Structure 1
Amino acid sequence: MSLLNTSNSSSNSTPSWNADPVAPSVVLGLCWLVGVPSNIAVVVVIARNFKRENFTLKLMLNLAVSDLLCLITLPVWIYSLLYGWSFGPAVCKFVSYLLYCSSCTSLLTVTLMSVQRYLTVLYPQCWARLRVTGERVLLVALWGLAGVISCPSFMLRNVGIEEDYRKVECIRNYRSDMQEVAILLLETLLGFVLPFSILVTSYFCLHKKVNQTAFFSSQRMTKLVTSIVVTFFIFWFPLHVINMVDISITLLKTSHPDTYESLKSFRRASGDVSQALVLINSCINPFLYAFASRSLRSNAQQTEEKKAATQTSNV
């Protein structure tokens, strides 16, 4: 995920204001102002009502923490967009890794939520076998996987000159074109294709098999699940379109110069937008999933009450 390749002026010169990054800087500022307080509120509310046996709340807490870690890096990126990167290579690597790791953790948490809902509704005994220890292992494995997937951002990120603008940036320095293509393809596969496939499959199977129960009997629940899938697609798909554009730019650099220049123009015009959408998603998650968690518990309770009433009437 090519997040936040900032455009900078020389770190050795007096900070100079650039008009080009004003719009993305405003968007990032709004993300910080909305997202940080809302995610903190979710953390506080969950902490006050925390129950060890409720894995949904644990996932909600995990999502809020990962989104919060992602958003707290924004002041650094906003400053670098406007005035240039002046924090050195060590900070470049650390902040980039934190951004990638937290974004990836948020993505994996949303994916795990869909799987957990599918199993708890259709195969509750299977999920119950995990117990508290198994759930903890899942959460640790989730963060570990995110950390491994984010390693390229730590190894490749450094302070350098961006070739289009000839300015100092915290950018990725690939060793070869093939390395760039391989990493971007892997990121798109693990960061979008696989999670989105799991998300859609889980909710589709859930809807198909329990459509007659209270879980999906209301339009409210159907709209909620639809919004989860659509939101995921809207905010993550553009970033991976840009990944595919970057791959095309790399492969067509020498063989098709006209196409190469057209794609470069498109990349410059839309790159910041795709990156900002992912961060906007971190602001929306608290509202969407806090609402989802409450609705799911309410509908699940209605299902159990109907089952109990049916069993009583059959006695």
Structure 2
Amino acid sequence: MPLRNCTINSTSDETIVGNQTSTTLGALILTVVFLLGFPGNLFVIWSILARARKQSVTTLLILNLAIADGSLMALTPFFIVYLVLKNWVIGNVMCKILFYLCLANMYASIHLIMLMSIYRMISVIWPRRISVVTGKRTLMRVLGVVWGLVMIVSIPALIFREVTCKKTSQGLACDPHHEKNRDVVLQYTLELVLGFLLPYGVIVVCYICILRRIRQTKFNRHIHSEKLILAIVVTFCLFWLPYHALNVVQVTWALCPEGTVKETLGKIWRRGRAVTSAVAFISSCANPVLYFFAGKSYIRREGLAFMARLFEGTAFDSSRKSRQNSQNSRDKDKDADVVQLNEKDLEDMDSVTNSSSNIKQMINGK
């Protein structure tokens, strides 16, 4: 393939595919991820669309999460070929589009998980207001806004990704191409803040509020949906943390003055990018595995519909918790009414007793 219409890479072969060990390991990870994640997410989508009898808020959020993860899994064969050949063979346009879609699905996944956590918090703390956010029209608007924002904040991948020519060997690389260090800082700081710190900050606050509320009540909170969503949150964090840690390294590298430290940081992020990116992909194939273990009690009874019954069970848990909290509030109100009634009865009894005493006195006096 002729090496034309591409930018010469000033860092020689120090690209994300420049290290044999990291590219081989990354290709193996992506292969396993594709074999598990692509059919797994398709099964989740099919279960919700074809087998679920009612689409609750949690079910619709999981459906959107499966669509985001499944789309990401569908892209993995392109990256497997890239890591194996160490050569980008499908042009500059596909270089931009594929990495743009990867970034968009990363943003979509974490923000959908954030929406799940917010919904759980509202259903636990303000059960009487949950009807405000459970309307299908409201939910569809929220999801539309989330996907729209995801598409906008992923634009840096279209701007900075392009095919570069390796300087000392034949082949092409699809790498970020930043004219200035401030471009590096802008892109990866944006990913770090909007793709990790901000949504995870909201998630942590939500679960702190949920735990505080649980401690204040006497209800049994061993609910499938809370455990499942918490497992999704932790899994996403574990697999994306190395990627964002490497973003911090690259931003530090960009801000660091020339010298030994800058050179060392450069080697770390270039050699680690292929592996950490592949590890991040694992989070998209992990969710169907979590659903399988969470719903294994349904398998014998429901067969292929077991996952749909699991998601319906999470919806039942939400409505049951709301009813329990509402019932608790009503019980408190009833108790207060009973107390008031008892006090009134005592007052009436006192008045009757006093009246009887007065009548007796009048009769005796006569």
Query: Matched residues in 1 for 2:287 and 2:320: separation?
Result: 25
Query: Matched residues in 2 for 1:66 and 1:164: separation?
Result: 38
CA positional deviation for 1:221: 7.2
In structure 2, give the amino acid aligned to 1:278. Answer: A
1:83-232 correspondence to structure 2 within 5 Å: 83=85, 84-130=87-133, 131-161=135-165, 168-211=172-215, 212-214=217-219, 216=221, 218=222, 224=228, 226-232=230-236
In structure 1, give the amino acid aligned to 2:161. Answer: R
Give CA-to-partner distance per residue, 1:194-230, whole Å, 9 cap, x none.
01111111111012112435463x3977765653443
TM-score (norm 2): 0.73
Higher normalized helix content (fraction of residues) = 2
User: Partner residue of 2:70?
Assistant: 68
CA positional deviation for 1:303: 3.8
How many pairs does the alignment contain? 300
Which moved further from structure 2: 73-82 or 49-58?
Answer: 49-58
Could you list the runs of 5+ residues in structure 2 that have no partner in the other structure? 1-14, 295-309, 339-366
In structure 2, do the counterparts of structure 1 residues 294 and 284 end up closer, same or farther at CA, with 3 Å as the change threshold?
Answer: farther
Percentage of identical aligned residues: 26
In structure 2, give the amino acid aligned to 1:142. Answer: V
Is it true that 1:273 corresponds to 2:275 in the alignment? Answer: yes
Quick one: which of 6, 17, 26 aligns to 1:7? 17
CA positional deviation for 1:161: 3.5
In structure 2, do the counterparts of structure 1 residues 297 and 193 end up closer, same or farther at CA, with 3 Å as the change threshold?
Answer: same
Answer whether contact 2:26 2:274 (CA < 8 A) is retained: yes
Which moved further from structure 2: 48-57 or 230-239?
Answer: 48-57
Q: Secondary structure at the match of 1:70?
A: helix
Query: Matched residues in 1 for 2:242 and 2:70: separation?
Result: 22
Could you list the runs of 5+ residues in structure 1 that have no partner in the other structure? 10-17
Query: Matched residues in 1 for 2:220 and 2:198: separation?
Result: 26
Query: Matched residues in 1 for 2:38 and 2:141: separation?
Result: 28
User: Partner residue of 1:58?
Assistant: 60
Q: Secondary structure at the match of 1:247?
A: helix
In structure 2, do the counterparts of structure 1 residues 173 and 309 end up closer, same or farther at CA, with 3 Å as the change threshold?
Answer: closer
Answer whether contact 2:30 2:278 (CA < 8 A) is retained: yes
CA positional deviation for 1:267: 2.1
User: Partner residue of 1:252?
Assistant: 256
1:5-84 correspondence to structure 2 within 5 Å: 6-7=16-17, 21-50=23-52, 54-83=56-85, 84=87
In structure 2, do the counterparts of structure 1 residues 261 and 65 end up closer, same or farther at CA, with 3 Å as the change threshold?
Answer: same
Query: Matched residues in 2 for 1:250 and 1:208: separation?
Result: 42
In structure 2, give the amino acid aligned to 1:85. Answer: W
Which moved further from structure 2: 175-184 or 194-203?
Answer: 175-184
Q: Secondary structure at the match of 1:102?
A: helix
Query: Matched residues in 2 for 1:157 and 1:113: separation?
Result: 32
User: Partner residue of 1:13?
Assistant: none
Query: Matched residues in 2 for 1:188 and 1:60: separation?
Result: 24
Answer whether contact 2:88 2:171 (CA < 8 A) is retained: no
Give CA-to-partner distance per residue, 1:25-81, whole Å, 9 cap, x none.
010011000000100000000002446661111101100000011111111111111
Answer whether contact 1:8 1:85 (CA < 8 A) is retained: no
In structure 2, give the amino acid aligned to 1:286. Answer: P
CA positional deviation for 1:307: 6.2
CA RMSD, 1 decimal: 3.1
Give CA-to-partner distance per residue, 1:81-138, whole Å, 9 cap, x none.
1111010111111111111112211111111110111112322343322422111110
Question: Which is greater in Rg?
Answer: 2
Answer whether contact 2:127 2:322 (CA < 8 A) is retained: no
In structure 2, give the amino acid aligned to 1:152. Answer: P
Q: Secondary structure at the match of 1:26?
A: helix
In structure 2, do the counterparts of structure 1 residues 125 and 175 end up closer, same or farther at CA, with 3 Å as the change threshold?
Answer: farther
Answer whether contact 2:27 2:80 (CA < 8 A) is retained: yes
Quick one: which of 227, 240, 244 aligns to 2:244? 240
